[in-house]
Amino acid sequence: MIATKRLALGAASIALGGGMALTTIPAATAAPTAPARTAQSRPAHDDVSAGSRCSKWIDYLGRGRGHANCPGYKVHVRVWCANHKSYSSKPYWRKNYNKAECPKNVGAVRMRSTP
């Protein structure tokens, strides 16, 4: 009977000790907190390394177009046009390069791309 109580106490102490160890492990491996955002910081969905390797430009060849070339990344482009409407790239996401176009004879005012 005494041996049974000792076995039960030993199992309980192991369970409690294991429970304490499990509660401390996630705290030790928690991800670092994000830095505070400033007025010049990029949105969370942008990869800073991708943004620095992307080239972006607007041109006009019968219509306004916004282009983005980001090697190694899928790219989405949105262009705002002189007719006060915005248009997305088709296909929406494309690897390495994408473009969005305004209607014929309408110029592009600004653009945004997301790698």
Cα-only R_g, the chain: 28
Name the band, by pLDDT with cuts 50, 70 and 90, for residue 31. Answer: very low
Q: State the average pLDDT over residues 31-51.
A: 44
| Residues 48-75: tens digit of each pLDDT | 455 568 999 999 989 999 999 999 999 9
- Cβ neighbours of residue 92 closer than 8 Å, sequence gap 6 or more: 76
- What's residue 53's pLDDT? 81
Name the band, by pLDDT with cuts 50, 70 and 90, for residue 115. Answer: confident
pTM of the model as a whole? 0.55
Q: Residue 9: phi, psi to the nearest 5?
A: -65, -40
Half-sphere exposure of 15 (CA within 13 A, CB side): 6
**Distance (Å, whole) CA 99 – CA 18:** 56
Taking 90 as the threshold, does the pLDDT of residue 33 lie above it? no
For residue 45, with 0-12 CB atoms within 10 Å meaning exposed, 13-18 middle and 19 or more buried, which class applies? exposed
Q: What dihedral do alpha carbons 9, 13, 14, 18 form, nearest 10°?
A: 150
Say if residue 71 is preceded by a cis peptide, omega within 30 of 0. no
- What's residue 104's pLDDT? 95
